[in-house]
Amino acid sequence: GEDVEQSLFLSVREGDSSVINCTYTDSSSTYLYWYKQEPGAGLQLLTYIFSNMDMKQDQRLTVLLNKKDKHLSLRIADTQTGDSAIYFCAEIGSGGYQKVTFGTGTKLQVIP
């Protein structure tokens, strides 16, 4: 079945870049997503990438996809304290319904 893995924790200083990594197993993944979850809140869709793309940039966010290694990363430039949250990588396969499989989440701590 599908599996999505992430490291649990990342700590960076304000102003530095953050890189959050994710690996997945489903070779039929069509879209891969990054979601942000702040304490006590639901999930906010940050960005997504189609599986035939290598890179996508969206303001401070850069997504890199290595489909051969099934590796996805999210780079946040000029990380701010407001970026402190849990970040989830997720993928959707090519099945008949739109099931999204989430990773375990990476907690990003931004130190002022």
Partner 1 sequence: ETGVTQSPTHLIKTRGQQVTLRCSSQSGHNTVSWYQQALGQGPQFIFQYYREEENGRGNFPPRFSGLQFPNYSSELNVNALELDDSALYLCASSLMGQGAPYEQYFGPGTRLTVT
Can you give the binding site for partner 1, defined by CB under 8 A? 4, 30-31, 35, 40-45, 48, 50, 88, 90, 92, 95-105
Number of C-beta neighbours around residue 14 at 10 A: 14
Q: Which is nearer to partner 1, 45 or 77 (CB)?
A: 45
How near is the Cβ of 111 to partner 1 at its closest, in Å?
22
Q: How far is CA 26 from CA 4, 18, 32, 80, 86, in A?
A: 9, 25, 11, 33, 23
Number of C-beta neighbours around residue 103 at 10 A: 23
Q: Which is nearer to partner 1, 73 or 101 (CB)?
A: 101
Q: Which is nearer to partner 1, 39 or 112 (CB)?
A: 39
